Structure 1
Amino acid sequence: MNPAATPDTPDSGGASHQKHVMTAEERAEYERLRRHAAVRHRRVRRAGSSILLLLALLLAPLAVVAAWVQDTVSDTDRYVETVAPLASEPPVQEVVINRLTDRVVANVDVKAVTDSLSKALQDAGAPPRVVQGAESLESPLREAVRTVVDRNVTRVITSDVFQQVWEGANRRSHAAVVNMLTGAREGAVRAEGDTVRLDVGAVVDEVRERLVDAGFDKAAAIPDTDRTITLFQTEELGKAQDTMRLLDILGTWLPVLTVVLAALAVWTAPAHRVMLMVTATGVGVMMVVLLVALAVVRRVYLDSVPPTALPTDAAAAIYDMFLRFLRDSTRTLLIVSVITVLVAYLYGPGRPARAVRRAADRGTTAAGRGLRRAGVRTGSTGHWLADHRAWITGGVIAAGALALVLWNHPSVGAVALVVGIALAVLIVLAVLAAAAGPAAGHEDRAAAS
């Protein structure tokens, strides 16, 4: 008879029920196999989360750029908000003023005027000295013409009219950005070979009308040709257009995919809090890399623009203005990453984290006691807040994260505002919980003692 088996009971119906009792050796082997399986499982989870994290970090900069491209191209208001300030940039205004003034003066035949004056004086029998003096008026007259034209052009370009015309033209021709990115040869901004040009035809028309109204009839001869300004030239424009097309297509889904991969990396990792810190740190590092890359591209862009085509200060103003929202988004994600790392660390077992939590608890407890001494008690509500503190804290953090997700283009200031409100809410709730006083059971024990 097997000692590890129990005999059949009379009412068992003949069925055999056996219960095996493991020996010490079998128990040790079982524990060893279970530990081995647990270690193997953790290794698989760690490897999977590492792969997901790597993919998320590699896609993070592309997701930010793709979202910016898709947002700028598809949203007319966002596009106008991007390019409208260029009309008030002094370097850009100076370029437009100089270009328009040069073209107007070039179409004024000052020499013909002085020749006609000299001939008229000569026919009238004027002395040779007077005739020669009239011929020498060409240079002063040309300078006077330039002064008059420059003054009128400057008045137009620096006025609100130019900014309104600029904004209206960009709003009406928003498709020009799409044309540039796709290589189309139409619109205000267009690509021609390896050159990107800006059409200022509407501005030329406005300046021409203003000069004619001011009595400068020669301005009507300003030609309709050659009314473009070269923004930049680069042999990599074709590749950039291909990349932009791809980013535009992925602009909607690439950010979503990146967030999903990062969330899966945190969820599959054995230590969720540690992986959250690693993920947030990695995203922050990638945002720093993106900011450095934008600075390098800026330098390359400025070096590629010939000063004769566009002054360096104007080119820098155009680049900085056009990419400012991309830089703002990158800085915002960097700040969010830093805040996430700090919050995850403060929830950990580290000595500084425990010290911060203890200090916060002492502060809110002292404030709650002060309210009780003042006669303010939160009662059952305060006890409920104290009992569900972890869930409430998680809910407040989730609400803050949701607010940032739903915020239209959150900036660093928006992140600071949301974080400040979340901290204030958590502090108020902790003080209200402390103002409830000890629980009933605690009070009874205190009385009994």
Structure 2
Amino acid sequence: MVPNNASGSSPSGGTPETGRVLTAAEHAEYERLRRAAKTRHRWAKQVGASVLLLLALLLAPAAVVAAWVDDEVSDTDRYVQTVAPLAADPAVQEALIDRLTDRVVDNVGVEAVTDALAKALADAGAPPRVVQGAEALDGPLRSAVRSVADRVIRRVVTSDTFEQAWEGANRRAHAAVVNMLTGEREGALRAEGDAVQLNLGAVVDEVRQRLVDAGFDKASAIPDTDRTITLFETEKLGKAQDAMRLLDIMGTWLPVLTVLLAALAVWTAPAHRVMLLIAAVGVGVMMVVLLVALAVVRRVYLDAVPPSALPPDAAAVIFDTFVRFLRDSTRTLLVVAVITALAAYLFGPGRAARGVRTLAQRGTTATGRGLHRVGVHTGSTGRWLDAHRSWITGVVIGAGAVALVLWNHPTVGAVALVLGLVLVVLAVVAVLAAAAGPEPAATAAGEPGRRAP
């Protein structure tokens, strides 16, 4: 049999399958078919990678929104962290003060007071001018009541006590709703079948203890039964709980699925670096689209809220506060996408990329040699670092990516911190590798341990 060469055919034109000598035409056809099969395989991989990437890009905005909604709905701490700033915002405080002041003035019933005063004066035989004067007190009395109510309410709303009460009330309410929707047995509000029940156990215990402390010893005999009150029953409670479970699944697994699709697209593509660059640019574009969509929704929301219901500045603050974590997450992903695209480009063959790599190498090499000249020698360790530079670079970048994944709600600042640490570690590795110095000279023949001159 004729031995095969590197191209898969024999020098005489034979095939590796049969060893039969082919004519020039047959050999040319064989090579054409082999190249066509390779092209079709590459094309199929490219199409598959493109489909995977398209799915990942379409799911990216939905995954970000689903994760944000799941956090706000199912995580009480995250929800309280979201709404807490509203209690200290001046625009929201003014809206709340005005609303509470109006409610107080309406409940006081100034007009009824002046009417009663006028009637009493008339019944007592007071002159008509006095009676009319009492009726005219409606305006000044209303203004006085509003002034007093505004002053008292403003003192309460702008105090630290109000912020603490605001956070506590939101925490208790959110936790109660979450317990009801998830079917948890803890907390005051819970679900039992299709019924929503309020557990008064803690209240009963507190009342019983206070009665005993006040001298009513027989209050200790109050039974522990019937400690729950059914607030309402609805057939839609089960559907709400199912929706909660679906939201939890989507918020957890939709981002994971999106990342897996993008990773598979990069891994499947014939040119991994190019596909990584395209994927990063695509994710960045989708995050920009999401930011634009948030701006449009904000404008629609503000136009839909009448000023009589909520002042525009307060409405804007409320919207921005509720979506700020979604906006922050979107901006963070945009920054990560830009950094990833830039890194993929810098590892490529472009002239600018080669220039940046050359400049960085010259800088680290000069620094390492300077350290070596002043007596800092890394020796075999530095040479090992230099020999395994590619693997070390991959490990450091991978560690940075893992750190961001494990970071609880990373921000743009967190991304900048991790990026800075990665660059510092890579620079230190390059400097240590350059400080190793030249290889030891070969020993002279026949004289072990003696270095050649």
- Structures share fold, TM-score greater than 0.5: yes
1:349-368 equivalences under 5 Å are 349-368=349-368
1:421 corresponds to which residue? Answer: 421
1:281-318 Cα distance to aligned partner (Å, 9 max, x none): 00000000000011111111111112222222111111
The residue type equivalent to 1:347 in the other structure is F
How many Å separate the matches in 2 of 1:135 and 1:19? Answer: 120
Secondary structure of the 2:296 match is helix
How many Å separate the matches in 2 of 1:423 and 1:264? Answer: 27
Contact kept, 8 Å, 1:69 with 1:248, in 2: the verdict is: no
How many Å separate the matches in 2 of 1:390 and 1:4? Answer: 40
How many Å separate the matches in 2 of 1:342 and 1:104? Answer: 60
How many Å separate the matches in 2 of 1:4 and 1:75? Answer: 72
1:225 corresponds to which residue? Answer: none
Q: Quick check: 1:174 aligned with 2:167? A: no
How many Å separate the matches in 2 of 1:130 and 1:24? Answer: 127
Secondary structure of the 2:108 match is coil
How many Å separate the matches in 2 of 1:423 and 1:380? Answer: 23
1:117-170 Cα distance to aligned partner (Å, 9 max, x none): 556666777665555434432211111111001111111111112111111111
The residue type equivalent to 1:323 in the other structure is V
1:207-256 Cα distance to aligned partner (Å, 9 max, x none): xxxxxxxxxxxxxxxxxxxxxxxxxxxxxxxxxxx999865541111111
1:258 corresponds to which residue? Answer: 258
Contact kept, 8 Å, 1:110 with 1:138, in 2: the verdict is: yes
Structure 2 vs 1, CA of residues 443 and 391 (structure 1 numbering), >3 Å: closer, same or farther? Answer: farther
2:318 corresponds to which residue? Answer: 318
1:335 corresponds to which residue? Answer: 335
How many Å separate the matches in 2 of 1:425 and 1:416? Answer: 14
Contact kept, 8 Å, 1:336 with 1:415, in 2: the verdict is: yes
Structure 2 vs 1, CA of residues 119 and 43 (structure 1 numbering), >3 Å: closer, same or farther? Answer: closer
1:167-196 Cα distance to aligned partner (Å, 9 max, x none): 1111011157769999xxxx99xxxxxxxx
1:113 offset after TM fit, Å? 3.6
Contact kept, 8 Å, 1:95 with 1:311, in 2: the verdict is: yes
How many Å separate the matches in 2 of 1:36 and 1:147? Answer: 88
1:278 corresponds to which residue? Answer: 278
Structure 2 vs 1, CA of residues 20 and 123 (structure 1 numbering), >3 Å: closer, same or farther? Answer: closer
1:8 corresponds to which residue? Answer: none
How many Å separate the matches in 2 of 1:64 and 1:443? Answer: 63
The residue type equivalent to 1:334 in the other structure is L
How many Å separate the matches in 2 of 1:177 and 1:95? Answer: 26
1:2-401 equivalences under 5 Å are 19-115=19-115, 117-118=117-118, 129-175=129-175, 247-401=247-401
1:435 corresponds to which residue? Answer: 435
How many Å separate the matches in 2 of 1:158 and 1:443? Answer: 83
1:438 offset after TM fit, Å? 2.1
How many Å separate the matches in 2 of 1:135 and 1:308? Answer: 29
1:443 offset after TM fit, Å? 11
1:88 offset after TM fit, Å? 1.2
How many Å separate the matches in 2 of 1:303 and 1:311? Answer: 11
1:221 corresponds to which residue? Answer: none
How many Å separate the matches in 1 of 2:441 and 2:70? Answer: 60
Contact kept, 8 Å, 2:86 with 2:92, in 1: the verdict is: yes
Contact kept, 8 Å, 1:73 with 1:177, in 2: the verdict is: no
1:323 offset after TM fit, Å? 0.5
How many Å separate the matches in 2 of 1:144 and 1:70? Answer: 48
Secondary structure of the 1:436 match is coil
Secondary structure of the 1:375 match is coil
1:107 offset after TM fit, Å? 1.5
1:108 offset after TM fit, Å? 1.4
RMSD: 3.1
How many Å separate the matches in 2 of 1:66 and 1:276? Answer: 24
- Unaligned 5+ segments in structure 2 are 4-17, 183-187, 190-241, 445-450
- Unaligned 5+ segments in structure 1 are 6-17, 189-241
1:374 offset after TM fit, Å? 0.9
Secondary structure of the 1:440 match is coil
1:83-123 Cα distance to aligned partner (Å, 9 max, x none): 11111122221121111111111121334444555566667
How many Å separate the matches in 1 of 2:315 and 2:132? Answer: 45
**Percent pairwise identity:** 73
1:263-295 Cα distance to aligned partner (Å, 9 max, x none): 111111110000000000000000000000111
1:432 offset after TM fit, Å? 0.5
1:306-347 Cα distance to aligned partner (Å, 9 max, x none): 222222211111111000000000000000000000000000
Q: TM-score, normalised by structure 2?
A: 0.76
Contact kept, 8 Å, 1:53 with 1:262, in 2: the verdict is: yes
> Which deviates further from its counterpart, 271-280 or 116-125?
116-125
1:82 offset after TM fit, Å? 0.6
How many Å separate the matches in 2 of 1:51 and 1:443? Answer: 60
How many Å separate the matches in 2 of 1:250 and 1:40? Answer: 37
How many Å separate the matches in 2 of 1:36 and 1:49? Answer: 20
Structure 2 vs 1, CA of residues 181 and 423 (structure 1 numbering), >3 Å: closer, same or farther? Answer: same
How many Å separate the matches in 1 of 2:298 and 2:64? Answer: 18
1:197 corresponds to which residue? Answer: none
How many Å separate the matches in 2 of 1:309 and 1:123? Answer: 42
1:218 corresponds to which residue? Answer: none
How many Å separate the matches in 1 of 2:414 and 2:112? Answer: 63
How many Å separate the matches in 2 of 1:359 and 1:181? Answer: 58
Count of matched residue positions in the alignment of Structure 1 and Structure 2: 377
The residue type equivalent to 1:73 in the other structure is V
1:386-419 Cα distance to aligned partner (Å, 9 max, x none): 0000000011000000000000000000000000
Contact kept, 8 Å, 1:331 with 1:412, in 2: the verdict is: yes
Q: TM-score, normalised by structure 1?
A: 0.77
How many Å separate the matches in 1 of 2:252 and 2:387? Answer: 42
How many Å separate the matches in 2 of 1:81 and 1:376? Answer: 50
